[in-house]
Amino acid sequence: MSLNRSEKEAVISEVTSLAAKAQTLVMAEYRGITVADMDQLRITARSNGVTLSVLKNTLVRRAVAGSAFEPATEQMSGPLIYGFSEDAVAAAKVVAEFAKTNAKLVIRGGVYGGKVLDVEGVKQLASIPSKEVLLAQLCGLLMSPMSRTAVVLSALAAKKGEGAAEEAPAVEEATAAPATEEAPAAPEAPAA
């Protein structure tokens, strides 16, 4: 089905706005994928903040002209699905994870930071943890010295507490007078 001029302009403006907000573009060939599998891919993509679209390559080339994704125009041939994401790794993760379970989805390449990525580059980008995981790891690294110090101080306090507990019964035994003996009389104070 052919698009008329106004429909083409609408597609170009939509893709241009997606490209303006996105950090990453991933392209994959989708020949032979069932409709059910494609729907599952779209649901997964949507839940991860990725916009997946099957678009005409000529329209995408026009839409990304002058953007950071322009270097990928050479890879835009054949039936492709385009994944745009604002998160740097989300599009790569969604497409790479789906490609692991469905051999008919073939990653063709992508763009991140104005640099063209080949298949291995997309897979490497997909292996990077998400922003939330990286922030959690950073917090863990920052908390590590404090928690180690707290553990050491706690161990020292426990060790001192054990030492004081062992000394306390010995002191009590030494100061306690036997019940059969009379306690020595306290010395009298000298008269002034």
Per-residue pLDDT tens digits for 67-98: 888 888 888 888 999 999 888 888 999 999 99
Residue that the structure tokens 């429909």 belong to: 7
The rounded distance, in Å, linking the Cα atoms of 60 and 80 is 11
Do 35 and 115 fall within a single domain? yes
Tokens of 16: 């241009």
Is the pLDDT at 99 greater than 70? The verdict is: yes
Predicted confidence at residue 176, as pLDDT, reads: 54
Do 69 and 99 fall within a single domain? yes
Count of domains in the chain?
Answer: 2
pLDDT tens-digit series, residues 16-74: 888 888 888 999 998 888 899 999 999 999 998 898 988 888 888 888 888 888 888 88
Predicted confidence at residue 82, as pLDDT, reads: 92
Predicted confidence at residue 180, as pLDDT, reads: 52
Contact 56, 14 (CB under 8 A): no
β-strand partners of 85: 24, 50
Is the pLDDT at 146 greater than 50? The verdict is: yes
Do 68 and 160 fall within a single domain? no
Domain range enclosing 68: 9-128
Highest mean pLDDT pick, 26-35, 161-170, 172-181 = 26-35
